[in-house]
Chains A and B, each alone.
Chain A
Amino acid sequence: MIDKAAIANPKTHYGNGRAATRGFIQQRVTGALNIVFALFMIWFVVAMAGAADAAARIALIRNPIVAIGLILLIVNVAIHMRIGMHDVIEDYINKGPRNTLANTANLAFVALVVLLVVGSVLKVLFWG
């Protein structure tokens, strides 16, 4: 019987309806925000590349607005890219332990990137 519970149950092949809807909404909300963050990142990379020396680059990252912008950027990007890779995995490795492994690897990569970026920005922000 196909009812709401069957569709919402991830163990049926109808998939997890609530998770899919949540992914759809999150993907679009983070995608819209990413328009702003993409322009911010282009500005940041240009400023980093054009800075006179290492000290000027450190000073740029220590600017609180830049530091907070970078942290918000990577968190938003992380949510967006995890959903994107989840969709790719769903298309090519959609069953069994390899699916679980792929999704876990996806989460691990995304978490690693967030950890590296947030950790580095906070280090530079507080200790130069």
Chain B
Amino acid sequence: MTMSIVHRATGIALYGGTLLLALWLVGAAIGGAFFDGVNWLFGSWFGQLVLFGYTWVLLHHMLGGIRHFVWDSIRAMDPAGRETIVRIQLAASILLTLLVWAIFVWFK
């Protein structure tokens, strides 16, 4: 139940979040001081915080989609199965997010 709402909420966040990808590419197309400003924004502590959150939202929604593929194949649909699959999803999304940041940002 909660994870259903989270799947929808992360979906809506990604929907709006496409504007961030668009901003970076529009910045590149315009170039000059505007592009410098966009690059500074994504490099700032606030931008990094947003990107960290975005990473989890993206990976969690992706894993939620895979969970739905499992359900489409009529597996893990009983109450116990649902609980297990959702816990695996949450643990995996947090671990993968930390892994991505550890490999690409913190310990590169």
Secondary structure at the B interface, as helix, strand, loop or mixed, is: helix
Contact of A121 among B25, B42, B55, B58 (CB under 8 A): B25
Please report the total number of B residues contacting A with Cβ < 8 Å: 34
Please report the total number of A residues contacting B with Cβ < 8 Å: 33
Hey, which chain A residues are within 8 Å of B58, CB to CB? 38, 41-42
Q: Which residues of B are interface residues toward A (Cβ below 8 A)?
A: 8, 11-12, 14-15, 18-19, 21-22, 24-26, 28-29, 31, 35-36, 39, 42-43, 51, 55, 58-59, 62, 65-66, 68-69, 72, 100, 104-105, 108
Instruction: Report the minimal beta-carbon distance from A42 to chain B, rounded to whole angstroms.
Output: 6
Are B62 and A38 touching (Cβ within 8 A)? yes
Q: Which residues of A are interface residues toward B (Cβ below 8 A)?
A: 28, 31-32, 34-35, 38, 41-42, 45-46, 48-50, 54, 57-58, 61, 70, 74, 77, 81, 84-85, 88, 109, 113, 116-117, 119-121, 123-124
Contact of A57 among B21, B28, B108 (CB under 8 A): B28
Contact of B66 among A35, A85, A88, A113 (CB under 8 A): A35
Hey, which chain A residues are within 8 Å of B65, CB to CB? 31-32, 34-35
Known: A81-B18, A84-B15, A113-B18. A45 touches B25 (CB 8 A): no
Are B36 and A88 touching (Cβ within 8 A)? no
21 cross-chain CB contacts under 8 A: A31-B68, A32-B69, A34-B65, A35-B65, A42-B55, A42-B104, A45-B51, A46-B105, A48-B24, A49-B42, A49-B51, A57-B39, A61-B25, A77-B18, A84-B11, A85-B12, A88-B8, A109-B15, A117-B21, A124-B25, A124-B28
